[in-house]
Structure 1
Amino acid sequence: MAEFGSQERSSFIASDRVEGTAVYNPAGERLGSISRLMIGKQNGQVECAVLSFGGFLGIGNDHYPLPWRMLNYAVDKGGYVVDLDKEKLHGAPRYDLGREPEFDEAYTRALYTYYGVNPLF
């Protein structure tokens, strides 16, 4: 019997195991790590993964919400791969910790538009 939550054997993963997971671009460069997930209150679906990027030892990090559908889990890397280069990331919507945007429909729609992803609502 497979252990519940096993990344290799299950299509499910606990949210606390996603937080801190590395995010890479297709070239294998580490872009940062996931600091939190944003879940839709009405539909219960993960809408965004917030990528923590920059800074030093967690100080001065910027937080970049990424549409969840952009991330693909790569077992060989033990992390997520997103088709995104650092230049696109530098111009992306971001925020400082403690100054989170209002994740309303307008913000989410603008975020998805920036990345060229169709929102599901």
Structure 2
Amino acid sequence: MPTATGHTDAIRASRVIGTEVYNPAGDHIGEIKDVMLEKTKNGIMFAVVGFGGFLGMGEKYHAIPWASLDYDEKKGGYIVPYSKDELKAAPSYSVDELTENDGMKARDASYDYYKVDPYWQ
């Protein structure tokens, strides 16, 4: 069912993974590498966005709250409301760190840093 802006309420994770991510200035900042799901609460914990690196080497992974991503059809990607400096200063993780403690550490740090209202409260 479409939302007021014409977007649908549901999307397959396979359509999200690999989608480019941009900041409000239109600068490409990375791509969605994965989506973390909280099984017990039926929520999307965060999008795993990869920044930098070359052929997977030196890439940083950021947990960005799902509510912060807004799809822009013209760009064919998601826009996040954060500047390059905010994103550079954000917590970053290895793939293993993203899943430590069921992803709760990365989730909590992400929502705190980006000042997004927690979906679980």
Give the TM interval when normalised to the shorter protein: 0.7 to 0.9
- What's the CA shift for 1:13? 2.0
Change (3 A) 1:57 1:107: closer
Q: Which residue of 2 aligns with 1:13?
A: 11
1:1-121 equivalent positions in 2, closer than 5 A = 10-100=8-98, 101-102=100-101, 103-104=103-104, 107-121=106-120
CA offset digits 1:24-59 (Å, max 9, x no partner): 011110000000001111122212001100111222
TM-score, normalized by length of structure 2?
A: 0.83
The percentage of counterpart residues that share the same residue type is: 39
Give 2:89's aligned amino acid.
Answer: G
Superposed CA offset, 1:34-92 (max 9, x none): 00001111122212001100111222110000000000011111110001111111111
Q: Which moves more between the two structures, 65-74 or 93-102? A: 93-102
Q: What RMSD over aligned residues (CA atoms) do the two structures have, in Å? A: 1.8
SS in 1 for 2:113: helix
Instruction: Measure, in 1, the Cα distance between the counterparts of 2:106 and 2:55.
Output: 29
Say which SS state the counterpart of residue 87 (structure 2) adopts.
helix
* Maintained 8 Å contact 2:32/2:48: yes
- Tell me how far 1:107 sits from its aligned partner: 4.4
Structure 1 gaps of 5+ residues are: 1-7
Aligned pair in 2 of structure 1 residues 78, 11: CA closer, same or farther (>3 Å)?
A: farther
